[in-house]
């Protein structure tokens, strides 16, 4: 179902290859999250915390270049050492190479700081790397510049601390913290670049994107992020409702089914009514059902299921969907319904 939804939403040029890639690579329950935002907005803290909570793999510039044994990492390092900008295509290929590893496929991934611009986002999409949730942290430039001046990095764990807001209690950690090599001038330049390039990225991911204010206590930020990444998006793919109402006599099944049918233009199916219609129509199955109804005996399950299956496979039910009530009334009837491939989705 998820593969069909992705196919209908993204409309790839080669649908067969897209489906093969999906089946080979995607664990549909694993997290696929991008954490974006300007410098000093707290991307690293959020990404690392999410990894611990969701048991996912964190992918960042540092992990790609210095912690992984990727074929393309040496080429990217050479660009960095000669103080040249690493090309978008090289970043996209590095990310694709890393995400194709079995740990990312099974556990899911959290991309920290990627994509940085529209071109990177397009390249990731064309490679089939489509996040399910995009978290964008934001704060005013003055707050971010002040944060950057107090930012300290633990080179051992890569965790980020702050001299004012989040100073570690462990003396050993305090002693090994280092100040990032980003002056106020460089920080301002990076913020300008971010404001210039990010609106295009926002447009690409707007349907799966949530902006979260980073200028609040970190506990609140993390709580809002976790709540968001645990939500499931409503699909834009076509959906045919197949609704089953259960409940004791007098609980309002018939009324609710009628209201649902009217509101959503689905077919209202009452099992008892169907049996009466079959008898009145003098069909072959109706002839078999008639003695039971005339004598007040329950109609055997196989006969009920046969009539139901026939009605639910009619064109109006297949096109508009259906809402069923009055069946099944017990476990045996439920099992008979499952055997006949009548599967409600709500």
pTM of the predicted model as reported, rounded to 2 decimal places = 0.60
Query: What average pLDDT does range 16-26 have in this prediction?
Result: 79
% of the chain exceeding 90 in pLDDT? 31
pLDDT tens readout for residues 121-145: 999 888 888 899 999 999 999 988 8
Domains by residue range for the chain, with CATH = 31-230 (3.40.50.300), 242-340 (3.40.50.300)
Q: Which residue has the higher pLDDT, 35 or 74?
A: 35
Residue 85 has pLDDT above 90, yes or no: no
Q: CB atoms < 10 A from the CB of 338, how many? A: 12
pLDDT tens readout for residues 150-165: 788 887 777 877 777 7
pLDDT tens readout for residues 90-121: 889 989 989 888 888 888 999 999 999 999 99
Token pair of 287 as six digits: 């002839």
Q: Strand (E) positions, the chain?
A: 32-36, 57-59, 109-112, 133-138, 151-153, 160-162, 209-213, 242-245, 267-270, 322-325
pLDDT-based confidence at residue 260 (cuts at 50, 70, 90): very high
Query: What average pLDDT does range 65-81 have in this prediction?
Result: 80
């Amino acid at each position: 179902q998820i593969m069909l939804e992705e196919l209908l939403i993204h409309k790839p040029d080669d649908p067969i290859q897209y489906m093969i890639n999906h089946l080979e690579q995607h664990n549909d329950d694993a997290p696929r999250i991008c954490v974006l935002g300007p410098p000093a907005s707290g991307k690293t803290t959020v990404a690392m915390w999410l990894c611990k909570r969701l048991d996912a793999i964190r992918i960042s510039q540092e992990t790609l270049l210095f912690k992984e044994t990727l074929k393309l990492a040496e080429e990217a390092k050479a660009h960095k050492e000669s103080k040249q900008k690493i090309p978008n295509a090289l970043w996209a290929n590095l990310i694709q190479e890393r995400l194709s590893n079995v740990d990312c496929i099974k556990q899911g991934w959290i991309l920290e700081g990627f994509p940085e611009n529209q071109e990177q986002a397009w390249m990731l999409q064309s490679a089939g790397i489509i996040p399910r949730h995009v978290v964008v942290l934001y704060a005013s430039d003055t707050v971010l510049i002040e944060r950057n001046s107090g930012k300290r990095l633990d080179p051992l764990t890569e965790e980020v601390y702050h001299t004012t807001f989040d100073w570690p209690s462990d003396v050993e950690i305090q002693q090994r913290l280092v100040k990032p090599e980003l002056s106020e001038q460089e920080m301002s330049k990076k913020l300008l670049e971010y404001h210039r390039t990010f609106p295009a990225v926002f447009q690409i991911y707007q349907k799966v994107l949530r902006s979260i204010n980073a200028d609040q206590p970190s506990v609140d930020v993390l709580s809002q992020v976790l709540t968001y990444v645990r939500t499931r998006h409503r699909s834009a793919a076509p959906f045919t409702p197949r609704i089953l109402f259960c409940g004791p006599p007098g609980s309002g099944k018939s009324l609710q089914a009628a209201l649902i049918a009217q509101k959503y233009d689905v077919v209202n199916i009452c099992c008892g009514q169907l049996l009466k219609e079959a008898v009145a129509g003098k069909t072959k199955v109706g002839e078999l059902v008639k003695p039971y109804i005339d004598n007040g005996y329950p109609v055997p399950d196989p006969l009920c299921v046969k009539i139901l299956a026939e009605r639910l496979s009619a064109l109006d039910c297949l096109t508009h969907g259906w809402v069923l009530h009055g069946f099944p009334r017990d476990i045996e009837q439920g099992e008979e319904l499952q055997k006949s491939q009548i599967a409600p989705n709500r």
